[in-house]
Structure 1
Amino acid sequence: MLSASSYRKFVRGRNRPVWEEDPNPAGLVVKALVLVAIVAAVLFPLYTIVLTSLSSQADVTRAGGLVTVPGTLSLAAYEQILSGGIVTRATLVSIGVTTVGTLLSTVVSVLAAYGMSRPGSLWHRPILFVFLITMFFGAGMIPTYLLVSNLGLIDSYWSLILPTAISAFNVLILRSFFMGIDREILDAARVDGASDWLVLGRIVLPMSKAAVAVVALFYGVGYWNAFFNAMLYINDNAKWPLQLVLRSYVLQGVTLPGSGTGQVDVDDGAVTGLPVKMAVLVLAVIPVLLVYPFVQRHFTKGVILGAIKG
């Protein structure tokens, strides 16, 4: 006969959900194959893009398009697009807009979220309601364009930052995270005479590094990948960000003046067409790939903990 403790263990084992059961060898093999297939589906397109950008024009012609088998590798495409002209300027514009925009958006979002997370703050509930409304209703493209135009921001880099400087979703993530901080810690700091600025800088922010890092990543990727605002508000090609140059050259096949991507003599060893397009694409993807690993360890923690309380 089973003892009482053994019987309880037996009953708990029978009532456990399927996903809590220990996987069998066949299940482990299937999971491994599925994960390998997913990784291959993600990495193979990136591999072909990078390899094509490093290939010679002869290899691209021989492959009839994207190169999958390495041949003669060369940095000629990168030297061509970075030798000056609009691609280089567009890269610097994107770096500047992303840096300034991410810093501004993160600072303002932290201040707004902290203010709305304090129960005694002035009008925090009406302001929170306004933030929630903006998540479901927008003014539209034409009113926004008229506002940017009336503010004199046409052909200004600020037109790439200010219209999208605040995301209500990111503010709510930070607010939820701040509200999850133990109230006793904040009250103890105020008893010791700490002001709200000191509480925010010395206590709240150090305890919220994960959430702030995730929100900064969201803003940074958004600014780096944005092209629609530039298409609306920037008329000067010299002020275009990299993503708009990428769209115009790679998707529409437009060769921009001073881009260093015009037709050249292949016999001189230069590359044209597809390798240059792929080089511009790689140049647009690399910064996100370099930054993401440093923030990835905070990503899951920041999003999950910021969504616990609201």
Structure 2
Amino acid sequence: MAIVPDDSLIRRHFPLPGDIVSLLITLIALPAIAIFIAARWPKEGMRWTVATFLCLLCYALDMTFITTVTMLVHIRATQTPELCDSMMIVCLTLHNIAKATEIAFLIERAYVITWPVKSRTRTPEYVLSTVGIFVPYIAVTAIAIAYRISYVLDTEVCIIGMRRFALMPMLGVETAAQLYLTLRFLQPLLRVHQDGSGLLSPLRKIVIRTSIGCAVTMLLDIAVKVSLTLFNGEPSWLCFLTCKAEAFFAASILFWITKPGLPHDYLINGEQELGIGFEGSVSDSVVTSSELAEAGRLNFVKRVMSFPNAYDTKIPRTQSVNPKS
């Protein structure tokens, strides 16, 4: 049973403060995400990578989601069961596509930090991570759509949501994927920290930002899902408002954790990207773990932050990179 009674003002009406807050979130979020896209767009002469594409796609989908649900919630059409049901399907589909893209970006980020020699399809961990996360996620999304909640009250307020047995598996998959991929990304950095005398400031900042970003993202996701459980179906305006806020915060956190970590003096060819060198200079070399053991900690910082974009299996493994000072 929901903790909010059916005769509550929140459930039966679209109050003016909620209308204003919903529009304000949209007016703040859309220009901010546009700035994020411009900041992460590859500069002239830089090469597009899978990670860059996924990062920008995350922003584009978040912007599409926020725009779409704003149009749906502020439409002044008569609320019919068919319209209400369509609003729920559109919201859930767009939200989960955006979340899946974010997961794909985290998979790519974990792949890059391992200094891969083989292509993605020939890297067992990459394939297993992709299949092991997306197959369950598609399944729980289908279950959530099949067992959605959507009906219209006599006050013409659309109530949408998901049943608890469909909601909890989705929350479990999202939380587990976020936690695993974050730990997988941090593991090489933490291993270097244990083997040496500690990480230098740029890499330490990456570890801190990634950890905080993961924690905040999971808390936001849990809060939104739990609110759906407590209400046993929310008014569409309240559900869309919280989902828009979550999408905007998720985009902001992604922008923060991918902030380049090196000062200007450490740039390689004047470029750094996404906090861990998804772009930067294109090189025909791969940094191996043995090279890391022999290199100084400063060289390690420079190499990580300027990791090459060339992932061809024919890349020689013995050639090293000499970053500029």
Same fold (TM over 0.5): no
The structure that is helix-richer by fraction is: 1
Larger gyration radius, structure 1 or structure 2: 1
Larger relative contact order (C-alpha < 8 A, sep ≥ 6)? 1
